[in-house]
């Protein structure tokens, strides 16, 4: 495609050149020696550049400093070309010394969209694809790829629902389809399936393309139902370039949760005791002491994290050989004490053109990740660490006067001191990853190529955990938990891609056929024990043998696929695409193993029409429409078979154990693919010579035969079935504009907006109205906190509707005192349990602005999510009166209901139910996500191309009504086996907040 473009420009110039020749053909021109210099953007000479006289074979190559000298006549046109730069043409005229500034050829890269098993010019697209290029995030320090996507790709929601360094980030393309399956999009890196965005060095990325509609996704068939993120890594070109970047990051907790201070808590405690006719707990002196030296568990838990990122790359190449080699090291400290994350990675992308027809590429990537004290690994049965710290007794310090930990308190949280827990714990996870893929292209004859992409991907993970949360002097507290967990995962993929491109006049045809298979295999094994008396992990074998537990699991799946795609366009105005993919998966029984995923799309460009070619309003106008079907095979590998648990222990004699067996899964011999059918219509518009571009897409997708894993009623046996339907409808808008384009000042602005409505259309049998979720309350009641209801969006909060307090003048129902919490009741007087909120935003947007003024560069990125709630269980726990949360630590405790002042906050000592709308808060937020100010010093010594220094801040400002740390962070479900994050999103059980970060960095280019 790119070649075609180039050829087009060449012919245009050729015609112009010819005209000139014809006009001046009567004259004779003398030969003269023309000298010159070819420089890049930074006025550095480029060696090895071809300088030829157009239409002849005469040519020279620039020397090391970019200088050239050539004999030419004044009517000659010099063609200056170099790989990676836009070719320049200069008519000699009477110039004898020419300085040519070559522009890097970024436009051509931008213009191409990767669509899966091929590329397409953006202008020729028929489907809905969002593209994020390096350009849009290179001016901000990015440590992970997800940050680069958030708010920059319409239709893609990215939620950093955990601020822990290295934590997983939730990405959804056009909403969530599946209730129990995985809703994460497929990540394809350089043609290989199943990458992990977290491990990629953002600096290695050339472009990210997100396929959103089914006509684009159908080519990925069974893997495409959640969208596909295609990552293309950089290739070297041109002269050797070395880039080095280093930045240091300071991270801190961005907000504080408002809780009672030590002295306030003590005062209130005394007041309540006296009101109840009991002796006060604290003396005046003690309270004065606490006022002077308050104990703040937020201070104990959080710290300022200092991190650094260093990355370097070297790249370059010529027609024959291109290379890109990079390394990156990230060392992050978490804002929660003892937590941290390190990542080092190395990439080598090499490609060689063996001859005119054959090219071979080899991309290799290796990374090591290290996680220290993942907060989610602590006991979360009664809330996460953050929640437990917030609700811990603020009158009791972490250590006593002897320096020993104070593990328990009679007040507030009834659990063990969370700070003592995290300080005594060492949990380390190391993930090693190695990916290699080879890409062989052979052009059989003109326009017909065979491409083999083969990749392997291995991933090993080892966790060593020594977790001490209880009292080491009391075995009943199961104090010292020791875990070893070893996981091995490997995947392979082989794709044979045949492609044929042919033009017949104005008719262009592009046909692709693929045979592909892929498989993966994973095993995990390990052991755990508890109440170990030793001081560290390597004392695991000194524990009680009776406590030892071993496990060994494995899984394997294979997919075989055939697919074909035909793309046709006529005269650059009518575009048609049709594709069919056939997948066979080992997950399904033989009869249901094969699935067909068809798609068709049409686009029409009005660019050839008179009103655009000669009009003033539009510079581009195109409409698109498509339909396709994609699948999801995210069921357990063994879902078609029954499963049972062996080794269920029981003891008949109180001393020895015997093994029992019970079924855990009922096999489903009728299991089949989950299918998503999607319609998409889109409109692309360009204005003012494409300085302003607008894309609008509307879609509706219905996912049927949902793979739903559920517990069979009255048993502990689960079954995976194809049940129910979920619908997503939405609009994606993307607007970009070069608002100012002058010599010294440029302002580029990008706005994306996604609106989505999600609805559960049906569940099991027609009469099933809801499925109670299995995210359970942490208040000791084990009430469910989420529900899936027909007619509502996926994953609603489940609970009571809070109506304030019962007043003394009310007609009180039995069992209720004035001042008690009042909940909505039905006509029978029963409290109504129902859906009371939803944690998935329906509207998200991002607004990215880049300003360039001379050597200054400024990036401002604002990102927002609206129309969602947070089920703030942390606030509920702070209010006390429930489970382990014995006392009210919330500042509202000064304003509780009393007979004299009947407020809407329940009386002191009233029972507090956490599963109520009292703790549902509006989560909408607008975040100043990034501000970066950079200055480029240019070249101040020989060999240096550029030197840039920048300062930046992330998460600097948050506009929200939410009372917790951050509405974007919510907790992972305690039991991830049966709930995916989407049916429980927005439930905050004490999640790790997103930090605010400040960076200082320097980038050098040689």
Partner 1 sequence: MKMIQFKNKLKQLFTFVVSLMMFSTLLQSCAELDPDLTEFNAPPGSYESLADQEEGIVGVYQGLFTAARFNDIYAPAWGGDDMTTNFGANKADFREFDQRNVTPGNARLGNNWNNSLNIINRANTVISRSQGLFQLDVDMEIVELRIGEAFFLRGLMLQHLSRIHGRIPILLDPVVDPDVTLSSQQEVFEQVESDFLEAERLLPDVYPGVNPGAPRPNKGTARALLARLYMDWAGFPLNDMSKYAAAAQSAKQVIDNSGAHGFLLLSDLEDLWRQENASNTEGVFSITFCSSCPNLDNRKYGILGLPADLLGWQESLAEIKFFEDFPVGPRKEATYRTELQWEAFSDQKNPVFKKITGPAGDIAQFSSSRFDFWMRYAEVLLIYAEASGRSGNVTPQSWEALNMIRRRAEGLPFATPNPSVDLTSGDIAELAVTERKWEFAGEFSRWYDLVRLQRVEQALSDRQPQVSTDPATGAIINERNSILGSLGTDNYYAPLPQIALDELPNLAN
Per CB under 8 A, contacts with partner 1 among 832-871 are: 833
Residue 140 makes CB contacts below 8 A (sequence gap 6+) with 859, 861, 930, 932, 952, 954
Nearest distance, CB of residue 831 and partner 1, angstroms: 7
The interface region with partner 1, picked from 130-138, 461-469, 768-776, 953-961 by CB under 8 A, is 768-776
Nearest distance, CB of residue 441 and partner 1, angstroms: 12
Report the C-alpha gap between 77 and 92 in whole angstroms: 6
Instruction: Tell me which of 152, 424, 427, 593 binds partner 1, using CB under 8 A.
Output: 593
The interface region with partner 1, picked from 373-381, 483-491, 763-771, 857-865 by CB under 8 A, is 763-771
By CB under 8 A, what part of segment 359-418 binds partner 1? Answer: 408, 410
The interface region with partner 1, picked from 254-262, 383-391, 443-451, 699-707 by CB under 8 A, is 443-451
* Virtual torsion, Cα 130, 136, 141, 145, nearest 10 deg: 20
User: Is the Cβ of residue 145 or residue 790 nearer to partner 1 in the bound state?
Assistant: 790
Q: Does 656 bind partner 1 (CB under 8 A)?
A: yes
Nearest distance, CB of residue 776 and partner 1, angstroms: 9
Q: Does 572 bind partner 1 (CB under 8 A)?
A: no
Report the C-alpha gap between 936 and 268 in whole angstroms: 58
By CB under 8 A, what part of segment 595-654 binds partner 1? Answer: 637-638, 641-646, 648-654
Nearest distance, CB of residue 878 and partner 1, angstroms: 15
Q: Does 474 bind partner 1 (CB under 8 A)?
A: yes
Report the C-alpha gap between 63 and 37 in whole angstroms: 9
Nearest distance, CB of residue 726 and partner 1, angstroms: 20
User: Is the Cβ of residue 616 or residue 659 nearer to partner 1 in the bound state?
Assistant: 659
Q: Per-residue contact track with partner 1, 871 to 890, x per CB under 8 A?
A: ----------xxxx-x----
User: Is the Cβ of residue 292 or residue 767 nearer to partner 1 in the bound state?
Assistant: 767
Nearest distance, CB of residue 712 and partner 1, angstroms: 6
Instruction: Tell me which of 93, 536, 660, 899 binds partner 1, using CB under 8 A.
Output: 660
Residue 895 makes CB contacts below 8 A (sequence gap 6+) with 903, 905
Q: Are 385 and 422 in contact (CB under 8 A)?
A: yes
CA nearest neighbour of 270 among 906, 897, 900, 893: 893
> Which structure tokens are listed for 545?
């043998």
User: Is the Cβ of residue 33 or residue 659 nearer to partner 1 in the bound state?
Assistant: 659
Q: Are 631 and 671 in contact (CB under 8 A)?
A: no
110 sits in the region (left: phi over 0; alpha: psi -120 to 50; else beta) called alpha
By CB under 8 A, what part of segment 913-972 binds partner 1? Answer: 913
Q: Does 782 bind partner 1 (CB under 8 A)?
A: yes
Q: Does 550 bind partner 1 (CB under 8 A)?
A: no
Cα 371 off chain centre by: 18
Which residue bears the tokens 């989950």? 674
Residue 522 makes CB contacts below 8 A (sequence gap 6+) with 487, 488, 489, 490, 554, 555, 556
The interface region with partner 1, picked from 205-213, 302-310, 427-435, 778-786 by CB under 8 A, is 778-786
Q: Does 809 bind partner 1 (CB under 8 A)?
A: no
| Complete DSSP assignment for 11-62 | HHHHHHHHHHHHHTTTS---EEEEEEEEE-TTS-B-TT-EEEETTSS-EEE-
Instruction: Tell me which of 492, 539, 687, 747 binds partner 1, using CB under 8 A.
Output: 492
> Which structure tokens are listed for 668?
């489903």
By CB under 8 A, what part of segment 63-92 binds partner 1? Answer: none
Helix, strand or coil, per DSSP, at residue 213: coil
> Which structure tokens are listed for 156?
């893609």
User: Is the Cβ of residue 396 or residue 783 nearer to partner 1 in the bound state?
Assistant: 783
Instruction: Tell me which of 590, 744, 808, 975 binds partner 1, using CB under 8 A.
Output: 590
Instruction: Tell me which of 83, 362, 494, 681 binds partner 1, using CB under 8 A.
Output: 494
Which residue bears the tokens 């996981």? 487
Instruction: Tell me which of 33, 319, 476, 943 binds partner 1, using CB under 8 A.
Output: 476
User: Is the Cβ of residue 744 or residue 782 nearer to partner 1 in the bound state?
Assistant: 782
By CB under 8 A, what part of segment 708-737 binds partner 1? Answer: 712-717
Q: Are 51 and 16 in contact (CB under 8 A)?
A: no
The interface region with partner 1, picked from 96-104, 199-207, 626-634, 766-774 by CB under 8 A, is 766-774
CA nearest neighbour of 123 among 505, 573, 602: 573
Q: Does 779 bind partner 1 (CB under 8 A)?
A: yes
For residue 670, give the H/E element and its range: none
By CB under 8 A, what part of segment 507-526 binds partner 1? Answer: 515, 517, 519
Report the C-alpha gap between 167 and 147 in whole angstroms: 12
Q: Does 533 bind partner 1 (CB under 8 A)?
A: no
Instruction: Tell me which of 662, 741, 745, 808 binds partner 1, using CB under 8 A.
Output: 662
CA nearest neighbour of 186 among 221, 224, 158: 224
Nearest distance, CB of residue 63 and partner 1, angstroms: 39
By CB under 8 A, what part of segment 302-331 binds partner 1? Answer: none
> Which structure tokens are listed for 537?
């992990």
Report the C-alpha gap between 147 and 35 in whole angstroms: 47
Nearest distance, CB of residue 768 and partner 1, angstroms: 8
Q: Are 566 and 578 in contact (CB under 8 A)?
A: yes
Pairing of strands 238-253, 305-317: antiparallel
User: Is the Cβ of residue 396 or residue 863 nearer to partner 1 in the bound state?
Assistant: 396
User: Is the Cβ of residue 26 or residue 713 nearer to partner 1 in the bound state?
Assistant: 713
User: Is the Cβ of residue 637 or residue 852 nearer to partner 1 in the bound state?
Assistant: 637
Nearest distance, CB of residue 526 and partner 1, angstroms: 15
Instruction: Tell me which of 18, 20, 99, 772 binds partner 1, using CB under 8 A.
Output: 772
Interface with partner 1 (CB under 8 A), residue total 88
Report the C-alpha gap between 261 and 270 in whole angstroms: 14
Q: Are 427 and 338 in contact (CB under 8 A)?
A: no
Cα 686 off chain centre by: 29
Computed over its alpha carbons, how large is the radius of gyration of the chain?
32
Q: Are 500 and 536 in contact (CB under 8 A)?
A: no
Strand partners, 69: 35
Sheet-wide strand order for 192-193: 129-133, 205-211, 228-233, 186-189, 192-193
Nearest distance, CB of residue 946 and partner 1, angstroms: 45
> Which structure tokens are listed for 456?
């392997």
Q: Are 135 and 110 in contact (CB under 8 A)?
A: yes
Nearest distance, CB of residue 589 and partner 1, angstroms: 10
Nearest distance, CB of residue 320 and partner 1, angstroms: 21
Instruction: Tell me which of 319, 767, 826, 827 binds partner 1, using CB under 8 A.
Output: 767
Nearest distance, CB of residue 68 and partner 1, angstroms: 38
Q: Per-residue contact track with partner 1, 281 to 300, x per CB under 8 A?
A: --------------------
Instruction: Tell me which of 783, 879, 890, 946 binds partner 1, using CB under 8 A.
Output: 783
Q: Are 674 and 721 in contact (CB under 8 A)?
A: no
Report the C-alpha gap between 864 and 430 in whole angstroms: 34
Cα 389 off chain centre by: 28
By CB under 8 A, what part of segment 816-835 binds partner 1? Answer: 830-831, 833
Instruction: Tell me which of 558, 607, 749, 762 binds partner 1, using CB under 8 A.
Output: 558
Q: Does 356 bind partner 1 (CB under 8 A)?
A: no
User: Is the Cβ of residue 58 or residue 645 nearer to partner 1 in the bound state?
Assistant: 645
Q: Does 554 bind partner 1 (CB under 8 A)?
A: yes
Nearest distance, CB of residue 544 and partner 1, angstroms: 8
């Amino acid at each position: 495609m790119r070649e075609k473009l180039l050829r087009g420009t060449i012919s245009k110039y050729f015609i112009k050149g010819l005209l000139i020749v014809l006009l001046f053909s009567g004259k004779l021109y003398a030969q003269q020696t023309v000298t010159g210099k070819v420089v890049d953007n930074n006025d550095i000479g480029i060696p090895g550049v071809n300088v030829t006289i157009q239409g002849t074979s005469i040519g020279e190559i620039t020397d090391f400093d970019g200088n050239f000298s050539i004999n030419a006549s004044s009517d000659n046109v010099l063609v200056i070309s170099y790989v990676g730069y836009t070719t320049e043409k200069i008519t000699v005229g009477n110039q004898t010394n020419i300085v040519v500034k070559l522009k890097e050829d970024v436009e051509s890269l931008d213009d191409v969209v990767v669509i899966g098993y091929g590329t397409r010019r953006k202008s020729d697209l028929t489907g809905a694809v969002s593209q994020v290029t390096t350009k849009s995030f290179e001016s901000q320090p990015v440590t992970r790829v997800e940050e680069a996507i958030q708010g920059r790709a319409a239709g893609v929601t990215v939620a950093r629902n955990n601020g822990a360094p290295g934590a997983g980030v939730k990405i959804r393309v056009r909403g969530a389809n599946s209730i129990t399956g995985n809703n994460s999009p497929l990540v394809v890196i350089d043609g290989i399936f199943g990458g992990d965005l977290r491990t990629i060095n953002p600096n290695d990325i050339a472009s990210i393309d997100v396929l959103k509609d089914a006509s684009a996704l159908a080519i990925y068939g069974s893997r495409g139902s959640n969208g596909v993120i295609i990552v293309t890594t950089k290739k070297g070109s041109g002269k050797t370039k070395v880039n080095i970047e280093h930045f240091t990051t300071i991270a801190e907790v961005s907000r504080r949760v408002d809780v009672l201070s030590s002295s306030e808590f003590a005062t209130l405690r005394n007041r309540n005791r006296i009101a109840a006719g009991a002796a006060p707990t604290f003396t005046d002196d003690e309270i004065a002491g606490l006022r002077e030296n308050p104990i703040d568990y937020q201070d104990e838990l959080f710290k300022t994290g200092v991190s650094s990122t260093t990355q370097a790359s070297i790249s370059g190449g010529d027609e024959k050989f291109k290379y890109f080699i990079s390394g990156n090291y990230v060392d992050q400290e978490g804002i929660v004490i003892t937590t941290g994350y390190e990542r080092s990675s190395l990439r080598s992308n090499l490609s060689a053109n063996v001859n005119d027809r054959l090219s071979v590429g080899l991309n290799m990537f290796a990374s090591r990740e290290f996680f220290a004290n993942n907060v989610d690994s602590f006991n979360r049965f009664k809330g996460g660490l953050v929640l437990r710290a917030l609700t811990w007794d603020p009158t009791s310090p972490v250590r006593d006067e002897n320096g020993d930990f104070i593990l328990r308190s009679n007040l507030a949280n009834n659990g063990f001191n969370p700070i003592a827990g995290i300080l005594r714990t060492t949990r380390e996870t190391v993930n090693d990853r190695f990916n290699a893929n080879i890409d062989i292209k052979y052009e059989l004859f003109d326009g017909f190529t065979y491409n083999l992409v083969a990749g392997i991907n291995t991933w090993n993970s080892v966790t060593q955990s020594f977790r001490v949360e209880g009292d080491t002097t009391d075995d009943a507290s199961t104090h010292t938990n020791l875990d070893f967990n070893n996981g091995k995962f490997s995947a392979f993929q082989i794709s044979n891609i045949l492609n044929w491109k042919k033009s017949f006049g104005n008719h262009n045809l592009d046909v692709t056929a693929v045979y592909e298979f892929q498989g993966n295999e994973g095993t995990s094994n390990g052991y755990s024990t508890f109440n170990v008396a030793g001081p560290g992990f390597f004392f695991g074998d000194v524990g009680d043998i009776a406590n030892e537990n071993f496990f060994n699991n494995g899984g394997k799946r294979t997919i075989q696929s055939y697919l074909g795609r035909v793309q046709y366009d006529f005269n650059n105005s009518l575009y048609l695409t049709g594709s069919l993919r056939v997948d066979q998966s080992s997950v399904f029984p033989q009869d249901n193993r094969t699935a067909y995923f068809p798609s068709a799309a049409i686009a029409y460009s009005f660019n050839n029409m008179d009103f655009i070619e000669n009009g003033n309003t539009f510079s581009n106008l195109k409409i698109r429409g498509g339909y396709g079907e994609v699948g999801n095979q995210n069921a357990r590998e063994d879902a078609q078979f029954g499963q049972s648990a062996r080794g269920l222990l029981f003891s008949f004699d109180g001393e020895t154990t015997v093994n029992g067996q019970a079924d855990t899964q009922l096999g489903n011999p009728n299991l089949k693919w989950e299918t998503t059918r999607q319609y998409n219509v889109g409109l692309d518009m360009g204005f003012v010579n494409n300085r302003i571009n607008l894309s609008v897409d509307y879609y509706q997708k219905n996912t049927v035969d949902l793979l739903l894993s559920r517990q069979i009623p009255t048993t502990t046996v689960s079954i995976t079935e194809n049940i129910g339907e979920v619908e997503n409808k939405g609009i994606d808008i993307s607007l970009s504009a070069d608002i100012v384009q002058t010599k010294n000042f440029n302002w580029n602005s990008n706005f994306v907006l996604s609106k989505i409505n999600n609805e559960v259309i049906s569940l099991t049998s027609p009469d099933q109205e809801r499925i109670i979720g299995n995210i359970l309350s942490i208040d000791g009641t084990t009430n469910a906190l989420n529900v899936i209801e027909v007619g509502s969006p996926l994953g609603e909060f489940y609970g009571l509707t809070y109506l304030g307090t019962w007043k003394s003048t009310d007609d009180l129902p039995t069992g209720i005192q004035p001042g008690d919490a009042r909940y909505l009741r039905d006509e029978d007087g029963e409290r109504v349990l129902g859906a009371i909120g939803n944690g998935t935003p329906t509207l998200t947007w991002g607004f990215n602005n880049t300003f360039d003024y001379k050597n200054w560069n400024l990036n401002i990125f604002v990102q927002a999510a609206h129309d969602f709630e947070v089920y703030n269980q942390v606030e509920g726990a702070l209010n006390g009166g429930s489970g382990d949360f014995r006392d009210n630590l919330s500042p509202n405790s000064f304003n509780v209901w009393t007979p004299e002042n009947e407020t809407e906050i329940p009386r002191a000592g009233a029972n507090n139910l956490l599963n109520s709308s009292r703790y549902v808060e509006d989560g909408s937020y607008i975040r100043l996500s990034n501000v970066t100010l950079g200055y480029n010093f240019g070249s101040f010594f020989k060999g240096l191309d550029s030197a840039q220094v920048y300062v930046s801040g992330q998460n600097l400002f948050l506009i929200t009504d939410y009372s917790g740390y951050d509405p974007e962070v919510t907790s992972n479900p305690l039991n991830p086996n049966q709930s995916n994050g989407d049916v429980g999103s927005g439930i905050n059980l004490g999640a790790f907040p997103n930090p605010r970060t400040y960076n200082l960095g320097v980038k050098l280019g040689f």
